[in-house]
């Protein structure tokens, strides 16, 4: 049974034990982490890849050197009426990834747009 203590109003309070483990939240500041002894979250767990066409090909599991990208683009030209994400040469996972990046309209969207332009022949 936990010990009791009287507060300044004469009411008894149950004193609960302090946990032995540290609780870490993402909102902890570095100084709080230092004081609490909790290791900071390492950035290596986050994807810090710079958005480039080569990196996009890596994300898609394709060869990402310049010659391989050029060969892929030459071999996979799309007609105007076929959307990039609906092309039959993508795996379902690749198509989903491209679709998510376009919908997120984040830092990868311009790279996916660049790929889209390369795969649709200019008239």
CA angle 24, 106, 74 (to 5 degrees): 130
Q: What is the mean pLDDT of residues 30-56?
A: 65
Tallying the residues shown for the chain, one arrives at 123
Percent of the chain clearing pLDDT 90 (strictly above):
55
If phi > 0 it is left, if psi is from -120 to 50 it is alpha, else beta; for residue 67 that is: alpha
Tell me which architecture the domain covering 53-119 has in CATH: Orthogonal Bundle (1.10)
pTM here is 0.61
**E strands, 1-123, where?**
4-6, 12-14
Give the pLDDT score at 100: 94
Strands 4-6 and 12-14: antiparallel
Enumerate the domain spans of the chain.
Answer: 4-43, 53-119
> Within 10 Å of residue 26's Cβ, how many Cβ atoms?
5
Contacts of 95 (CB under 8 A, 6+ apart): 85, 86, 87
Question: What integer pLDDT is reported at residue 57 of this predicted model?
Answer: 97
In this prediction, residues 78-102 reach a mean pLDDT of: 95
Q: What is the pLDDT of residue 11?
A: 73
Q: Are 112 and 84 in contact (CB under 8 A)?
A: yes
What is the C-alpha separation between 41 and 38, in angstroms, rounded?
9
């Amino acid at each position: 049974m936990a010990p009791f203590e009287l507060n300044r109003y004469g009411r008894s309070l149950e004193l609960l034990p302090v946990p032995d483990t540290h609780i870490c939240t993402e909102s902890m500041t570095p100084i709080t982490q230092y004081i609490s002894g909790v290791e900071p979250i390492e950035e290596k767990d986050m994807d810090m890849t710079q958005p480039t066409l080569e990196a996009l090909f890596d994300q898609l599991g394709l060869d990402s050197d310049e010659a391989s990208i050029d060969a892929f683009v030459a071999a996979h030209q799309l007609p105007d009426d076929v959307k990039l994400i609906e092309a039959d040469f993508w795996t379902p996972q690749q198509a989903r990834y491209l679709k998510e990046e376009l919908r997120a309209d984040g830092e990868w969207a311009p790279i996916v747009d660049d790929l889209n332009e390369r795969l649709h022949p200019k008239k």
